[in-house]
Structure 1
């Protein structure tokens, strides 16, 4: 994170939820996802109560953390600056777009390697396709040859995204 975090940014990394299976048709830990979302929402509220405007907060994560970031942002009632979703999918995707109560008008960047053996690239593609149907500003970036990891190119893209959505005041 140090390579893409500007000096005026703070980074918080909460724990995600229980991943029961990586089978696309397998059961999801709905209760765990909701509990983790409540934790993320409480962390966001703490930052807002400490004086950071919600529209200066970017929510993001990798893998399960990215899934949680997507889900949490769409259910958070206050506007955010943007969302970063890396090598992930939208959990409980069958509930969307109906479940999206907020943050459909903010920038989302979703990044995925086309050789990911853990979270299949097609999951990222399906999530991007779904999100484009109800989000106004979403971008899906593919990284050739990248597995379940990151790359210098991805980090450069994220730095550009962060600089755009959270410029220094």
Structure 2
């Protein structure tokens, strides 16, 4: 992992938010947006994925957490890449813990490919987290996902636009059906006419979720 965008808390931090960007973006892409809705006492870490060739985009190199082969529900999945990316996220969480923020005061979120990684990394993390935010995304490796007992009750919010042309709503709905069966504190919200992006309503919902779970 190369470049992290870090926004420090005002005064002594008592919580941390780690937010993962989508395919082709960088940590800067979401940092100002999350900074505007985060509590003053929380650190914000927005890492940037390494640049790699992405099969789905004709092998064109771009920041990507793992390779994407297709948008087919039964298509090939880059399991080794997802596991490597998960290890990077765990390293970021561990670094915050070493700096004095307990895991249950660390909130993990992401958009699109970053949201997929946030779900996978957060739900398999061996210690309880404060919450997980998953935007416009899907759950990877669901057939092999081993959700840790301590994160089955971690507050998790999944958000998706019903006009998303990149990650179709059906992917979000399939993910929601899966997560509803396995998580006890989970919500799924669909935003009318929202494409593959965010809007004011979604940001208000995220702000409330962050405040409720990092009080």
1:110 pairs with 2:158: yes
Offset, 1:3: 2.2
1:3 pairs with 2:36: yes
SS in 2 for 1:60: strand
Write the deviation string for residues 110-154 of structure 1: whole angstroms up to 9, x where unpaired.
000001010010110110110010100000000000000000000
Offset, 1:86: 0.2
Structure number, greater radius of gyration: 2
Whole-Å separation in 2 of the counterparts to 1:11 and 1:111: 20
Whole-Å separation in 2 of the counterparts to 1:7 and 1:22: 38
Aligned positions of 1:52-67 closer than 5 A: 52-67=101-116
Runs of at least 5 residues in structure 1 that lack an aligned partner in the other structure: none
Q: 2:148 aligns with which of 93, 101, 117?
A: 101
Runs of 4+ aligned residues of structure 1 deviating over 4 Å after TM superposition are none
RMSD after superposition: 1.0
Which one has the bigger strand percentage? Answer: 2
1:70 aligns with: 119
Whole-Å separation in 1 of the counterparts to 2:192 and 2:208: 19
Whole-Å separation in 2 of the counterparts to 1:142 and 1:68: 20
1:82 aligns with: 131
Given the two structures, how large is their TM-score scaled by the length of structure 1?
A: 0.94
Whole-Å separation in 1 of the counterparts to 2:173 and 2:36: 27
Whole-Å separation in 2 of the counterparts to 1:17 and 1:40: 13
2:21 aligns with: none
Q: Is the 8 A contact 2:35 2:44 kept in 1?
A: no
- Greater relative contact order (Cα < 8 A, sep 6+): 1
Q: 1:142 aligns with which of 190, 193, 199?
A: 190
Whole-Å separation in 1 of the counterparts to 2:41 and 2:161: 29
Instruction: Give the number of aligned pairs.
Output: 165
